[in-house]
Amino acid sequence: MGLFNPGQGTGDPRGRAQRLDLLAGILGFFALMAFVQTVVLEVRGEAAGFSAAVLAVLVVLLWLTVRARRRLGGAADPP
């Protein structure tokens, strides 16, 4: 029994969908924070290149996560 596999396993579609939902929420939060930081830096006239690059990476990761979640369909919905 591993740290991320407690007992009965986590390979079911519902568990995977829930993990993708959680990951999308976390990535969405940090993408929003990176967006706010980039806007503030741009408005102040400071260099925002690195912040914009981080934002781009987060948006791409969020898009990939949402795409993977949509492929599962309504797997996390209760019966």
The residues that bridge with 5 in the sheet, in sequence order, are 2
pLDDT band, very low/low/confident/very high, at 12 (cuts 50, 70, 90): confident
CA–CA gap between residue 52 and residue 39 (Å, rounded): 9
Whether the pTM exceeds 0.85: the reply is: no
Predicted local confidence at residue 72, as pLDDT: 84
pLDDT band, very low/low/confident/very high, at 1 (cuts 50, 70, 90): very low
Task: Please give the DSSP secondary-structure letter assigned to residue 29.
Answer: H
Phi, psi of 2 (to 5 degrees): -90, 175
Predicted local confidence at residue 11, as pLDDT: 67
Predicted local confidence at residue 75, as pLDDT: 59
Least Cα distance to 10 among 25, 27, 28, 22 occurs for: 22
